């Protein structure tokens, strides 16, 4: 489209159909800016002042359309970068997800871990009591 505007001063009919087919009227300002660039009339205007004013207006419209196209291109580039980043994050999450169990399984693991932790603490307490009694120290039986 930019090439059409630079070379011809307007957007060709084929590119205009392509623009409307791809964008629809979601980006009304871009479609309107491109539609405002009329192809040159076959008969030249009679008044020279009117022609100058018309050329100035059409030049401003072209610049406006080109600026709008550049802004939309930058925005689409930024959106593409964000989409690629999101895809990478989603892929990473999918790769890591098998490493994590579902909620019921995690609950079971945590309960088992707590159970074995308590058993280890009790065993350590018993060992301390027995080693203390061997060395001649006495430990109360209820001490844990």
Domain ranges within the chain, ordered by starting residue: 2-98, 101-134
Better pLDDT: 121 or 53: 121
How sure is the predictor about 50, in pLDDT bands with cuts at 50, 70 and 90?
very low
SS3 for 84-110 is HHHHHHHHHHHHHHHHCCCHHHHHHHH
Residue 48: count of CB within 10 angstroms of its CB: 9
Better pLDDT: 3 or 98: 3
Q: How many angstroms separate the CA atoms of 144 and 95, rounded?
A: 44
Q: Structure tokens of 19?
A: 């623009």
Better pLDDT: 98 or 131: 131
Say if residues 68 and 31 touch (Cβ distance below 8 Å).
no
Q: Over the stretch 60-93, which tens digit does the pLDDT of each residue have?
A: 888 888 888 888 889 889 999 999 999 999 999 8
Rounded average pLDDT over 42-51: 50
Q: How many angstroms separate the CA atoms of 26 and 34, rounded?
A: 14
Q: How many angstroms separate the CA atoms of 37 and 84, rounded?
A: 35
* Cα 9 → chain centroid: 35
């Amino acid at each position: 489209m930019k090439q059409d505007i630079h070379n011809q001063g307007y957007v060709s009919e084929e590119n205009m159909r392509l623009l409307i087919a791809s964008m629809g009227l979601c980006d009304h300002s871009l479609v309107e800016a491109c539609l405002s660039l009329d192809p040159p009339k076959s008969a030249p205007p009679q008044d020279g002042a009117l022609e100058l004013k018309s050329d100035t207006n059409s030049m401003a419209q072209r610049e406006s359309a080109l600026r709008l196209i550049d802004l939309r291109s930058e925005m689409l580039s930024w959106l593409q970068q964000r989409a690629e980043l999101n895809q990478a994050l989603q892929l990473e999450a999918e790769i890591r997800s098998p490493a994590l169990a579902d909620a019921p399984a995690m609950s079971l693991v945590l309960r088992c871990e707590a159970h074995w932790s308590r058993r280890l603490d009790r065993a350590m307490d018993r060992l301390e009591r027995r080693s203390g009694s061997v060395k001649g120290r006495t430990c109360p039986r209820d001490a844990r």
